Structure 1
Amino acid sequence: MTRAYAGWQADAVTATSQPPAVTPDVAPAVKPDVKPDVPVLTDGVVTLRAHSVEDADAIVEQSTDPDSLRWTTVPRPYGRDDALGWVEHNLAAWGEPGATRSWAIEWTDDTGASRYGGTIDLRPGAAPSVGELGFGLHPDARGRGLMSRAVRLVVGYAFANTVWGAPVGRVHWRAVVGNWGSRRAVWAAGFTFHGTVPGSHPDPEGGPQALDTWTGSITPGDPLTARTPWLAPTEIIGEQVRLRPWRPDDVDAIEPRDDPDNWMPARSILRRETFPAWLLTRQERMSEGTALDWCVADLGTDRALGSVTLFSRGGPIGDAAELGYQFFPSARGRGAAKEAARLAVAHALAPVAEGGLGVRRLVAETAADNEASNAVLRSVGFTSFGREHAVDRLPGGGWGDGLHWELLPPGATD
């Protein structure tokens, strides 16, 4: 589970509540300068060790960092006394049979100096055979792939040891939806994602609504490497349009649509009021390797004109993918859709070694009466190979046909 510690990272900040600071009427269980028997774990780049009072200032920096505050329930305000009490709590827990096991993350910076990089812990779950993961990085340690290394070390330790009196058979992770740094860290370490749990985490900012969380887990024997590709929409420049990642402010370019209902599934249509959810869904699909989505923008003004996507209906994109697109009314009739489709198709068919997807076959589906969309597909080399009769409900009543398209470049059947 992603927890709120004394410090977190955008590179891997997981959210949970922090143990309370030690108060004056509570006798310290372990002196801050006394280190219990904490196993040191290392892969040669990252070292996990016991927390120390020397970490206190860096812990405060991490705990007051904007990303840490955004994704975790770390106490506000947070000072050096909080950090010292938290270090003491972590050390004392190593002497308790059923308590959390926490490590400080140590790394070597560009000058060769060893530095505190953050915290990672393994917490008891629903049974002694289940653990929950939590972590966070100091801002200076982010963006270096350190947390995925730390996750592998802790997961390896959990599965190789009887941590709470029984062999650990599963380690869970949880993070607030939108915490892409945390998700990417466990993705790289081989976790399987199970979905989204609605309303399952308190708002770190104290808002009245509970936030949704992503959840995932890993079991012994699972490879400690990414199970699926994480696709990213790199910029592609054409003659009049560019394909680029979507931005939140692109919502201002979205125009009302008057297309017939049978031309496109309602859930896929770009609308201003649903744009944040629409974008999140596509970002999630890209992180699972099942889709690659671009904003099609005007080359001169960079204003969003519509969307083009490559996707798979049955798991990560492999040797086949489906093409989809939609454009705002003011962008039609100028060749933008045809150029965007051509650029996306070229990227799909390009070898992986050249930065493409290495797809062997492309397919598409359209409504038979959507001649503009059909013309786009013909312009980039698709041919129709099938017709389904009476599959789409027409706005005025009755049923319309659907067309199936494919594109197989030369050599695709060899």
Structure 2
Amino acid sequence: MPVEPAEPAAPADLAPRLTDGVVTLRAHTLADVDALLEQCLDPESLRWTTVPRPYTREHAVGFVEGNRAAWASPSATRSWAIEWTDADGTPRFGGTIDLRPGAAASAGELGFGLHPDARGRGLMSRAVRLVTAHAFATPVWGAPVTRVHWRAIAGNWGSRRAAWAAGFTFHGTIPASHPDPDGGPEALDTWAASLTPDDAPSPRTPWLEATPREGDTVRLRPWRADDVDAIETREGDPEHWMPARSVLRRETYARWLRDRQERMAEGTGIDWCVADLATDRALGGVTVFSRSGPVTDVAELGYQFFPSARGRGAAKEAARLAVAHALAPEAEGGLGLRRLVAETAADNEASNAVLRSVGFVPFGREHAVDRLADGGWGDGLHWELLGRVYEG
């Protein structure tokens, strides 16, 4: 059995112990090494972080010792071990959270990672609140911290959700800004967000979910990566019927899916896959979204279906299910919207029929707005449905 080096004594005493009664942040100890090793060998940790590969026990010991020693340096990273208590009442190592020096003494960079056993319990958002509150109340590097930044590889939804829950404002995606943890030749995109002392430590926008709903022949469910296999080309569809950036294509599906997931994380839309109730094969999609911030009072309905799924009533049933969810009161699990709108090309009779089937009525016509294949211009229709008149 390996013999651990002696526990250094002094620097860890400088690490403030922070707790909210559920999560405790403390200095790392050598007793954390085994759990830390498990965490850094976990596939999810390897996917999103640049920990050494292969990660060894020696790496874990060095990490603990380095974190403890850093507390004695006035300009170093501040790292805490995250501790939680399991169902048996046993304190457990849950991971690490770091506050790193930023561009100035008044700015910090947040980093964190959880042990697999600690995930899905809301522990990291608690840890983030503890660290950011400490940063704003303490001159960590000799000056008050006035902004804490967070960044993660795009697609790291667990990290994003923790930052979202702690009140961070999301600033967007920075292209090609992070090395690939797997050593690939291409740089990866990152998400960026920040928090200031004036921000409440709670979500700033809703995080919408593609809540499953079932009808007689179709179900609405979240999109999955393997739905790409069901995508069909839209041969014969006039280009002006749908914005090109929204059309489902196999070659752009991965990015399309991430964009839609980001839209839900920002609270600006919900995108469902419409699947055959019997086979679960994707038939198309339906969305409720806002063009101007989070979905609150009014939203827009949109949909698209693969050629083989048309003419069987799937679009009408999917629209009915989506509309019912959008207009249902929040107390009943819906969005509680007052009004839905939609836009179509005037000559897209199939799409117009879907809207009529769920109670939409046209309220305006724009002339010569869609460029046609023959060089001419087509009209567009604007539709609306008020929640108080919808009968489901």
Does TM, normalized by the shorter one, top 0.5? yes
The match for 1:334 among 295, 312, 320 is 312
The match for 1:37 among 14, 18, 25 is 14
Q: Note the 1:15-414 alignment, pairs <5 A.
A: 32-34=8-10, 35-258=12-235, 259-410=237-388
Identity %: 76
Whether the aligned pair in 2 keeps the contact of 1:32 and 1:84 (CA below 8 Å) is no
Work out the CA distance in 1 between the residues paired with 2:388 and 2:165: 35
Work out the CA distance in 1 between the residues paired with 2:20 and 2:388: 46
Q: Secondary structure at the match of 2:209?
A: coil
Cα deviation, 1:382-407, whole Å, max 9, x if unaligned, reads 00000000011011111110000000
Whether the aligned pair in 2 keeps the contact of 1:124 and 1:132 (CA below 8 Å) is yes
Work out the CA distance in 2 between the residues paired with 1:79 and 1:252: 39
After TM superposition, give the deviation of residue 33 of structure 1 in Å. 4.8
After TM superposition, give the deviation of residue 83 of structure 1 in Å. 1.1
Work out the CA distance in 2 between the residues paired with 1:31 and 1:408: 67
Work out the CA distance in 1 between the residues paired with 2:89 and 2:314: 51
Q: Secondary structure at the match of 2:142?
A: coil
Whether the aligned pair in 2 keeps the contact of 1:381 and 1:407 (CA below 8 Å) is yes
* Runs of 4+ that moved beyond 6 A: none
Whether the aligned pair in 1 keeps the contact of 2:232 and 2:307 (CA below 8 Å) is yes
Q: Secondary structure at the match of 1:315?
A: coil
Work out the CA distance in 2 between the residues paired with 1:353 and 1:49: 40
Whether the aligned pair in 2 keeps the contact of 1:59 and 1:138 (CA below 8 Å) is yes
Work out the CA distance in 2 between the residues paired with 1:82 and 1:144: 27
Whether the aligned pair in 2 keeps the contact of 1:254 and 1:270 (CA below 8 Å) is yes
After TM superposition, give the deviation of residue 409 of structure 1 in Å. 3.0
Work out the CA distance in 2 between the residues paired with 1:187 and 1:132: 16
Whether the aligned pair in 2 keeps the contact of 1:36 and 1:95 (CA below 8 Å) is no
After TM superposition, give the deviation of residue 80 of structure 1 in Å. 1.8
Cα deviation, 1:137-196, whole Å, max 9, x if unaligned, reads 111000000000000000000000101111111000000010000000000000001111
Residues 188 and 114 of structure 1, relative CA distance in 2, 3 Å threshold: same
Q: Secondary structure at the match of 2:149?
A: strand
Bigger RCO (CA 8 Å, 6+ sep):
1
Whether the aligned pair in 1 keeps the contact of 2:32 and 2:93 (CA below 8 Å) is yes
Scaled by the length of structure 2, the TM-score of the pair is 0.96
Q: Secondary structure at the match of 1:166?
A: coil
Whether the aligned pair in 2 keeps the contact of 1:32 and 1:53 (CA below 8 Å) is no
Cα deviation, 1:194-249, whole Å, max 9, x if unaligned, reads 11111111111111111110010001110000001101111100001000111111
Q: Which amino acid aligns with 2:30?
A: V
Whether the aligned pair in 1 keeps the contact of 2:19 and 2:25 (CA below 8 Å) is yes
Work out the CA distance in 2 between the residues paired with 1:79 and 1:57: 10
Work out the CA distance in 1 between the residues paired with 2:58 and 2:248: 50
Work out the CA distance in 1 between the residues paired with 2:8 and 2:274: 56
Work out the CA distance in 1 between the residues paired with 2:197 and 2:373: 53
Work out the CA distance in 2 between the residues paired with 1:33 and 1:166: 27
Q: Unaligned regions of 5+ residues in structure 1, if any?
A: 1-27
Work out the CA distance in 2 between the residues paired with 1:352 and 1:165: 47
Work out the CA distance in 2 between the residues paired with 1:272 and 1:411: 39
Whether the aligned pair in 2 keeps the contact of 1:177 and 1:213 (CA below 8 Å) is yes
Match of 1:13 in 2: none
After TM superposition, give the deviation of residue 32 of structure 1 in Å. 3.4
Q: Secondary structure at the match of 2:93?
A: strand
Q: Secondary structure at the match of 1:36?
A: helix
Q: Secondary structure at the match of 2:251?
A: helix
Work out the CA distance in 1 between the residues paired with 2:279 and 2:28: 52
Q: Which amino acid aligns with 2:200?
A: P
Work out the CA distance in 1 between the residues paired with 2:168 and 2:114: 19
Whether the aligned pair in 1 keeps the contact of 2:337 and 2:387 (CA below 8 Å) is no
Whether the aligned pair in 1 keeps the contact of 2:7 and 2:29 (CA below 8 Å) is no
Work out the CA distance in 1 between the residues paired with 2:127 and 2:163: 10
Whether the aligned pair in 1 keeps the contact of 2:50 and 2:181 (CA below 8 Å) is yes
After TM superposition, give the deviation of residue 37 of structure 1 in Å. 1.6
Work out the CA distance in 1 between the residues paired with 2:40 and 2:257: 29
Whether the aligned pair in 1 keeps the contact of 2:37 and 2:60 (CA below 8 Å) is yes
Scaled by the length of structure 1, the TM-score of the pair is 0.91
Work out the CA distance in 2 between the residues paired with 1:298 and 1:199: 38
Work out the CA distance in 1 between the residues paired with 2:137 and 2:227: 48
